[in-house]
Structure 1
Amino acid sequence: MESPQVLVLGCFDDLPNACVYLPPRHQQANGRRGLKTDQKVLATLQIPCQVISSGLNSKRCHAQTEPKALLAELRSALQNSDCNVVKIGAMPSIASVQAISDIWRQWPRMACVLDMEPFLKTGQEIPNGVLVALIEHVLPSITILSATVGEVMALLEGASIEAGFPTGIQGIVALGKKLQSLGPRYVIVKREILTSPSRRLHSISCSAALGNPSWSDCVVRIRKASWA
């Protein structure tokens, strides 16, 4: 078996609002949520991956992997594979957030991608303290952070950074720059998921030049998108 190149952390999720976009040819009625979505996308790209579950979200129950077990599984996966990228999804507790932050101190050169959507799904409250733990212990190690405008504002509020709701592209760019001050090397700010295929998805990618504290690079991509 080929050694995994990407390690994916997160929950197996069967909640109604957990659906994410997949190209039409890859969509199925069920089972395309949480870790299953990541597995499907990486398989489509022919990228070997390993998934580690931090828990389960469903209508019937919410369960989480014990932090010590999560830490041990993470350490084993990184020691025994060729993974050079870690994608972080939902972490259900402060202890699980601290567990993954311990790993980054041992593997500081690992590229880390954080998707905020699993943490701040519509209609769900993030557990007390998890957002602050994420800001303090994880964001400084993140290579790429992906979040909607609302999720960016929630992170900034959690860090006591003032930010008004953007009224245009430049306002979204300003949000991305403020979020970079918390540690992420690159930030992708995306609009909320849309239901109409005629609407447009605005994706803002902000990055800072290596060794330069000023904001030097911002790319705006606007494209039509059809969302499930």
Structure 2
Amino acid sequence: MAKQSVLVVGSLDMSNRTGLQADQRVLEKYNIVTAIASTRLTTKDSSNSLEIFEAPLESLRNAIDEGVKGGVSVFKIVSSLGSVYTEESVLLLATVLEKAHYASVIVDTEAIFKTGRPTPPSVLRSVREKLLPLTTVLSATVPEVKLLLDDAGIPVAYPKSIEDVALLGKSVQALGPQHVLIKREIFDEGAKTTTLHYVLCGPGEPVIAASTIENVRGVTGLSYLIPSAIAANLANGTDVSVAVSAAFKFLQDMVSSGVYFE
């Protein structure tokens, strides 16, 4: 039986815990073939300082075309803080998705919006109007969901309870995604524990879950790997609710066992 394949669009980082490198390592643990297309390129200037710049659209298009040649079952968009996205690159991704038929499409807005700089209105609008209607699973945090709803002119108050978070998820479903995953990660320095919360909104009632795990090494940023683990489970044929639950358990088991990406 041939291995399943996932195409990940994001950026190459210097760390094994973030970006396309982390995606690849997660997917390898699931025995998934990974094709990558980077939205940014890195080089060193004359003083040996690292420079990061947007990948040319043609380069991104060619990488995607090359990645899909072998057949892709899941298309995962964005994988790293600091990914470089423009209106043109988002529209390119939407065009690819409209022409192709993938079993699942995952969009992780954390990597688009949480970059240390304001999200250009044109990028926010193109994500909302062009990508979300093509999305199987939207993975986001509360501020990112609020950003999308505010941009769409949908008035929803900032949540004060987990039930309010579920309302946010159901509200953003009106923008097109089949499922909305809103996640939160809390590290307790004193107790050396991490609590992972998530609300998953789909066709039925929202699923609300939380778990606390021992985290003696103080590893943070676990939630960045959740979309990759979801992609792996979807590629292996599980439905979305099972894929999300399994993805969170994957991270829990990795951290509680003391084994994490070095």
The amino acid of 1:37's aligned partner reads: A
More helix by share: 2
Q: 2:40 aligns with which of 42, 49, 55?
A: 55
Residue 218 of structure 1 aligns with which residue? 206
The amino acid of 2:24's aligned partner reads: Q
- Equivalent pair of 1:11/1:57 in contact (CA under 8 Å): no
Q: 1:146 aligns with which of 134, 139, 142?
A: 139
Q: 1:167 aligns with which of 160, 164, 170?
A: 160
Residue 111 of structure 2 aligns with which residue? 118
- Equivalent pair of 2:3/2:31 in contact (CA under 8 Å): no
Residue 88 of structure 1 aligns with which residue? 77
User: Matched residues in 1 for 2:52 and 2:153: separation?
Assistant: 30
- Uncovered stretches (5+) of structure 1, i.e. residues with no partner: 15-29, 209-215
The amino acid of 2:178's aligned partner reads: R
The amino acid of 1:66's aligned partner reads: P
2:112 alignment partner, SS class: coil
Percent identity of equivalent pairs? 30
- Uncovered stretches (5+) of structure 2, i.e. residues with no partner: 44-48, 221-262
2:139 alignment partner, SS class: strand
Q: What pairs with 1:4-43 in structure 2 (closer than 5 Å)?
A: 5-14=5-14, 30-43=15-28
Match status 1:45 vs 2:30: yes
- Equivalent pair of 2:3/2:32 in contact (CA under 8 Å): no
User: Matched residues in 1 for 2:32 and 2:3: separation?
Assistant: 10
Residue 240 of structure 2 aligns with which residue? none
User: Matched residues in 2 for 1:69 and 1:222: separation?
Assistant: 41
Map Cα deviations across residues 2-40 of structure 1 (whole Å, 9 max, x no partner).
Answer: 7661000001234xxxxxxxxxxxxxxx43211111011
Change (3 A) 1:32 1:109: closer
User: Matched residues in 2 for 1:110 and 1:177: separation?
Assistant: 22
Match status 1:204 vs 2:193: no
User: Matched residues in 1 for 2:42 and 2:171: separation?
Assistant: 31
The amino acid of 1:135's aligned partner reads: R
User: Matched residues in 2 for 1:158 and 1:57: separation?
Assistant: 32
User: Matched residues in 1 for 2:41 and 2:172: separation?
Assistant: 29
Match status 1:105 vs 2:98: yes
- Equivalent pair of 1:115/1:147 in contact (CA under 8 Å): yes
Shift of residue 110, structure 1, vs aligned partner: 3.9
The answer to which of 142-151 and 59-68 deviates more is: 59-68
User: Matched residues in 1 for 2:90 and 2:3: separation?
Assistant: 26
Shift of residue 158, structure 1, vs aligned partner: 1.7
Change (3 A) 1:48 1:170: same
- Equivalent pair of 1:4/1:50 in contact (CA under 8 Å): no
